[in-house]
Amino acid sequence: MSYLIWIPISVGFLAVLFAAYLASYVLGRDTGTHAMQKVADAIFKGAMAFLSRQYQTIALLSIFAALLVATVLYFLSQGGQDQRVSLAWHTALAFLIGAACSGIAGYIGMYVAVKSNSRTASAATRSLGEALMVSLRGGAVSGFLVVALSLLGVSLLFTAFGGLTRPDLAPNLIVGFGFGASFVALFAQLGGGIYTKAADVGADLVGKIEANIPEDDPRNPAVIADLVGDNVGDCAGRGADLFESTAAENIGAMILGVGLYLATRDLGWILFPLVVRAFGLIASALGLLWVRPSVVVEPDKAAGRDPGEIAMQQLNIGYWITCALSVIGVFAGSYLLLNSPTVTGNYGIPAWIWFGLAGTVGILLSVTFVYITQYYTAGTWRPVREIAAATLTGPATTIITGIALAFECTALPVLAICGALGLSFFLGSQVHFPTIAGMVQVVSFGGIFGTAVATMGMLMSCAYILAMDTFGPITDNAGGITEMSGQAESVRDITDALDGLGNTTKALTKGYGIGSAALAAFLLFSAYLDVLFAYKKTSDVYRVDLADISVFIASLIGLTLIFFFSSLAIRAVGAAAKRMIEEVRRQFRDTPKIMAERVEDRVDPDYARCVDISTRGALRAMILPGIVAVLTPVAVGVLLGPQAEAGLLMVATMGGIVLAVFLNNGGGAWDNAKKYIEAGYLRVDHDGKMLDRLDTSGTVLGKKSEPHKASVIGDTVGDPFKDTAGPSLHVLIKLLSTITLVLAPLYVFLHP
């Protein structure tokens, strides 16, 4: 069975080569006119400069954290000196490798993304299909690198740390890899989110509302900073987020598999997450390769259909292909690895079929999240149209309606998560294992592993989903380049449609991220209890009693942490945006020739000054919320003990899931309500009532109208929700679990 480790290692290397092929395809495309290249070059320099400075800061923090963790585990954990030395150096090394792999994936992925924007703009001058493929493949470089490096990192570390000879010990030695990935992801997502929204808010409020100029107008001093921010927030930040997801969830599932390995002496229970992740990479690659220009119907041949709808249809088909192949992959993986002769299933059905069904539940949950998010954030459905209608009566009703819909949109995702967890647990509980020596079965081990298999199933499409996410900033930048380089309206129509589609794909990726975080949180929570059992050797660790005062206090602290952390993130955006607004106003005031009517009389704004304001603001502001997020669970575990830490994990996860859905979908709906109006779909009759989207009669209220200004204000409120606080909560939820897994020996040592 150990030979199967070569499946994830081989597929991981092939996926890196596939990402290189996609990069060479994109970088070989035409870069457009000189004007396009000039704007793209400014974006590239700003993005790479920020990322370099950000990763230098994160690298220093990571080295300090690794040394601190190693020191704590050596001096304050159980066992002899050799055992403590082994645990300390293995964990610290894994931490640094996880942090490095996350940084490499984010850096290369964003490099290709910012090189793809002018090529997408150039492709839009020729066809919708070519622009779609260039932008999607540019985004896929990040998607495949993230999943491949995560898979390779875990697989190679597991092998190097003796996983094939002592598989019961190795998973606990590599938890540092997940912690390192989480650590980098938190700061990358926070810093990128603060940067992008500070620039966006400043550009929108002063440019669109006060100066009454279009989005991405070259006269706006904050426009380059805004375009840079799309990349550092939505590309590098989200890549780090999902890198951390795949790494932490692989390791958590492997830790759960250790108990089943001890019962069956079958290595497949530990290797299963790695092999299934490899099958998911293959499925994602085949789904991506389906999308090509020859299958995209051009707008002028589609009986007046919106280009964004045409492109979305192609992306959906590619996604369905990925999901269908993933179902085959999860059953194949279950047959190969979860087919132990000593394990039986109810009703005469083999165990691997029950687990294959559990994996299918996870895949269906990913589909459910994608379509729930589309419903709440796409302009073709009620929620976005409801916000658009609210703009007719001003900014106040726009914000009230958006908040109400954000509260509403938490219900369906939470019900979907509950249904998936319950059903996958039920399917797994139909499988029975030999008794594990010295362990009282408090919970169904098959049921717990069934939820782990569902989590693996949901993340099988991760590379394709991340490709659609990074597609968003590429098309957003392409729209800005098209506007700033003065391209024809027909070109702008294509890039606007792809930009609006990118808003939806970014939103559904956030939904996918929080859905996977929810499943992973239960998986990692269960893994944490298994780690406690390994140290304490008592089944009491599987009971977390909220009536215990220390557990109750820790749970309340965990819930409060979610809200306090979100406050720090949103406040950081507000402070940085304030400085950006003041700078843009100053430039308009002190250099009136920026706004000269004749193009030949104009002078360029000082773009670099605005880029620097966002950079400094983001790097300063990301430190405090990051430190609070790291130190809070450590303090609780040290002061109140491992069972109290379990309470913090449970309640913080629940609160984080609900609040993240509220922030992500609410912000996305506000954003696309603005896009809905800018696309010219807001029409009113002679009484001022909103008409149906497809009704071409009445008066169009588009850009520069009062409803449009109200929608910009709503979008400004939603921006730090959906691009800073919400995505950062995905990372925080999993960081709490990974840091707790790493420091469990400390908590047990202090509270034996």
Q: Are 84 and 76 in contact (CB under 8 A)?
A: no
Q: Which residues contact 316 (CB under 8 A, 6 or more apart)?
A: none
Report d(CA 124, CA 138) in Å as an integer. Answer: 15
What is the number of other CB atoms lying within 10 angstroms of the CB of residue 104?
15
Q: Are 206 and 584 in contact (CB under 8 A)?
A: yes
| Residue range 559-598, pLDDT digits in tens | 999 999 999 999 988 888 888 889 889 998 998 888 887 7
How many CA atoms within 13 Å lie on the side-chain side of 178?
A: 34
- For residue 375, give both structure tokens: 């419903």
Q: How many residues does the chain have?
A: 752
Name 690's bridge partners. 684
- For residue 727, give both structure tokens: 């995505």
Say what the pLDDT of residue 294 is. 62
| Residue range 654-693, pLDDT digits in tens | 999 999 999 988 988 898 898 888 878 888 888 778 887 7
Distances (CA, A) of 184 to 178, 181, 240, 618: 10, 5, 7, 15
| Residue range 360-419, pLDDT digits in tens | 999 999 889 888 888 888 777 889 999 999 999 999 999 999 999 999 999 999 999 999
Q: Which residues contact 398 (CB under 8 A, 6 or more apart)?
A: 387, 390, 391, 670, 673, 710, 711, 713, 714
- Regarding beta strands 431-432 and 344-345, do their DSSP bridges make them parallel or antiparallel, or are they unpaired? antiparallel
pTM here is 0.88
Report d(CA 192, CA 110) in Å as an integer. Answer: 12
User: 85 by DSSP, 3-state: which?
Assistant: helix
Picking from 459, 520, 420, the residue whose alpha carbon sits closest to that of residue 738 is 520
User: 217 by DSSP, 3-state: which?
Assistant: coil
Picking from 414, 387, 474, the residue whose alpha carbon sits closest to that of residue 681 is 387
The residue type at 698:
G
Which residue has tokens 């069904």?
A: 357
Q: What are phi and psi of 344, to 5 degrees?
A: -120, 160
Picking from 198, 232, 200, 195, the residue whose alpha carbon sits closest to that of residue 216 is 200
Picking from 432, 448, 284, the residue whose alpha carbon sits closest to that of residue 363 is 284
- Label residues 434-455 b or e (16+ Cβ within 10 Å = b): eebeebeeeebbbbbbbbbbbb
Q: What are phi and psi of 700, to 5 degrees?
A: -85, 130
Name 431's bridge partners. 345
The burial of 547, by beta-carbon neighbours within 10 Å (0-12 exposed, 13-18 middle, 19 or more buried), is given as exposed
Report d(CA 434, CA 444) in Å as an integer. Answer: 12
Picking from 290, 287, 366, 276, the residue whose alpha carbon sits closest to that of residue 320 is 287
**Which residue ranges in the chain fall short of pLDDT 70?**
1, 215, 293-306, 308, 436-443
Say what the pLDDT of residue 302 is. 46
- For residue 482, give both structure tokens: 């098209």
| Residue range 66-122, pLDDT digits in tens | 999 999 988 877 777 888 888 899 999 999 999 999 888 888 888 888 899 999 999
Q: Are 581 and 670 in contact (CB under 8 A)?
A: no
- Axis crossing angle, helix 307-337 with helix 351-377, rounded to the nearest 10: 160
Say what the pLDDT of residue 414 is. 92
Report d(CA 544, CA 538) in Å as an integer. Answer: 13
Which residue has tokens 């495309």?
A: 29
User: 684 by DSSP, 3-state: which?
Assistant: strand
Say what the pLDDT of residue 370 is. 80
Name 683's bridge partners. 700
Report d(CA 736, CA 192) in Å as an integer. Answer: 20
